[in-house]
Structures are given as C-alpha cells and as structure tokens.
C-alpha cells in the first residue's frame, strides 16, 4: 500500500448550479504543500463523436450555431443522451448519426475515449468511425434548430481543418486519433486542392 501524500485533497464541496445538461460544483481543496484553494468543476455526461466516411474518403459534417461563441461551425456529428446516461456508447453513436444527418451506418468502429477539457470538466467523448453508410431522414431535436448536414471531399475536409474553418477541437482530435490508430480508410487521398496534405 502506498503512503504517498495525495496531490490535492477535497476538504469540502458544494453544488452551485444544476440544469438538465450539467452540474457545477465548487470544491475547497488542500494542495500537497498545505495551501488551500478552490476548484470549480463542471460535471457533464460523456458524449459521442462520429466520423462518417464514404468509400471515396469524403466525409459528412454538420454545421450548427454554437451559442457560447455566437457563431456557426462545421464539425463531426456528436451528442449525448442526457436522459439515458448509462446507454451503450455504440447505441448513442448510431442514434446521434441518424438524428443529425439521417445516415445509418452498416459498420461502426470504436476508436477510444478522449478528455477535451479535464482542467475544469469531468466530461469525455467516445470516438467512432462510421462506414457503409446509407441515407435516411434526420430527426433533429428542438435544440438543434438550424443544423445542416453536408458531404465534403477528403481534400475539402483537410483544407477546412488546416485553414481554420473547422475549429471544433473534438472533431480535430477524433480525426487524429482515427489516423494514428490506422482506422481511417486506407488509400484515401488526403491532399488539399493545392496538393498539400496531412
């Protein structure tokens, strides 16, 4: 058994805000050197992010208005089931893909879990590659009003990432994880229209 002193000890905790999507708590903490402080922690359920890729390497992205930053941005389909936090992540991924794009996936590959903001939040996200896609009808929720879905060539997608059009860190991280694990479809030309690539 280890006798190591914990790096940070919680001495008190109180919930300061709650809504359907999150809980915010403020913890009183004591650091290893004995100094006291506070930590604000956002508790949110994990979400899924789905990279829907066609055999030619083109990808399906969604664009929606993100209220906190006051702008519309392109990203991979993503979401959570707050009403069913214990749902299987594969079921959530299939559901979110169909809900936002209308697409059904015949082959879904799980890549792993990443932590997007562990400096202040407990939330993680589960990355999936969706292939063998077939079209259907989207079923947007009221919070997703104005969401649009569009297919982009592999070159356009790379140009959007490198050119700062795609700024969603989860989308960029999901793409990188899929590439690093060798899950991105082989033989896909990822060169931008100007010939540069990733």
Looking at the fold, whether 120 and 80 belong to one and the same domain comes out as yes
d(CA 87, CA 66): 25
- 75 bridge partner residues: 62
Question: Residues 52, 130: contact at Cβ < 8 Å?
Answer: yes
Please tell me whether residues 80 and 142 are part of one structural domain.
yes
> Is a pLDDT exceeding 90 seen at residue 17?
yes
Decide if 172 is inside a domain.
Answer: yes
Do the domain assignments include residue 189?
A: no
User: Tens digit of pLDDT for each residue in 84-95?
Assistant: 878 899 999 999
Interacting residues of 149 by C-beta distance below 8 A, sequence separation 6+: 60, 61, 62, 63, 77, 100, 101, 102, 138
Give domain status of residue 195, yes or no: no
pTM: 0.88
Q: Are 33 and 17 in contact (CB under 8 A)?
A: no
CA angle 153, 191, 103 (to 5 degrees): 25
Q: Answer whether residue 196 is part of any domain.
A: no
- What confidence score (pLDDT) does residue 195 get? 62
Query: 115 with 52, same domain?
Result: yes
Residue 140 lies in a domain: yes
Is 36 in the same domain as 119? no
**What's the total number of domains in the chain?**
2
My answer on whether 83 and 161 are in the same domain is: yes
Is 60 exceeded by the pLDDT of residue 54?
yes
User: pLDDT, tens digit, for every residue of 6-16?
Assistant: 899 999 999 99
- Give the mean model confidence (pLDDT) for residues 64-79: 95
One domain, residues 23 and 68: no
Is residue 1 predicted with pLDDT exceeding 60? no
Do 33 and 129 belong to one domain?
A: no
Are 93 and 148 part of one and the same domain?
yes
**C-alpha span between 16 and 42 (Å, rounded):** 10
Closest residue by Cα to residue 174 from 113, 103, 121, 87: 113
Tokens of 44: 């949110």
Q: What average pLDDT does the structure give for the chain?
A: 90
pLDDT at 175 over 60: yes
Total residue count of the chain as it appears in this document: 198
In a domain, 3, yes or no: no
Burial of 141 per CB tally in 10 Å (0-12, 13-18, 19+):
exposed
CATH number at residue 124: 3.90.79.10
Q: Express each pLDDT in 113-124 by its tens digit.
A: 999 999 999 999
User: Would you say residue 185 lies in a domain?
Assistant: no
Residues 116, 95, single domain; the answer is yes
| The pLDDT of residue 197 | 56
Print the domain residue range for 149: 47-180
- pLDDT bin (cut points 50, 70, 90) of residue 138 is confident
37 with 52, same domain: the answer is no
Name the one residue in this structure whose structure tokens are 């990443």: 114
pLDDT at position 5: 72
The reply to whether 33 and 56 lie within a common domain is no
Residues 60 and 27 reside in one and the same domain? no
pLDDT given at position 184 = 87
Q: Domain for residue 145, yes or no? A: yes
Q: What is the pLDDT of residue 188?
A: 67
Identify the band that residue 149 occupies on the pLDDT scale cut at 50, 70 and 90. very high
């Amino acid at each position: 058994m280890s006798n190591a002193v914990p790096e940070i000890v919680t001495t008190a905790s109180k919930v300061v805000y709650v809504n359907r999507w999150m809980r915010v708590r403020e913890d009183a903490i004591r650091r290893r050197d004995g100094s006291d402080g506070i930590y604000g922690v956002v508790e949110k359920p994990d979400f899924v992010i789905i990279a829907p890729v066609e055999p030619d390497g083109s990808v399906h992205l969604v664009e929606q208005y993100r209220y906190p930053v006051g702008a519309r941005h392109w990203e991979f389909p993503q979401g959570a089931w707050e009403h069913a936090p214990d749902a299987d992540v594969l079921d959530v991924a299939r559901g979110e893909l169909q809900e936002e794009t209308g697409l059904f996936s015949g082959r879904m590959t799980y890549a792993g879990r990443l932590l997007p903001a562990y400096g202040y939040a407990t939330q993680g996200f589960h990355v999936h590659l969706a292939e063998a896609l077939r079209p259907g009808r989207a079923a947007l929720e009221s919070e997703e009003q104005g969401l649009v879905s569009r297919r982009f060539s592999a070159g356009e997608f790379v140009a959007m990432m490198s050119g700062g059009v795609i700024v969603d860190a989860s989308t960029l991280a999901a793409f990188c994880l899929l590439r690093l694990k060798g899950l991105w479809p082989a033989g896909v030309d990822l060169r931008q229209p100007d010939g540069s690539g990733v």
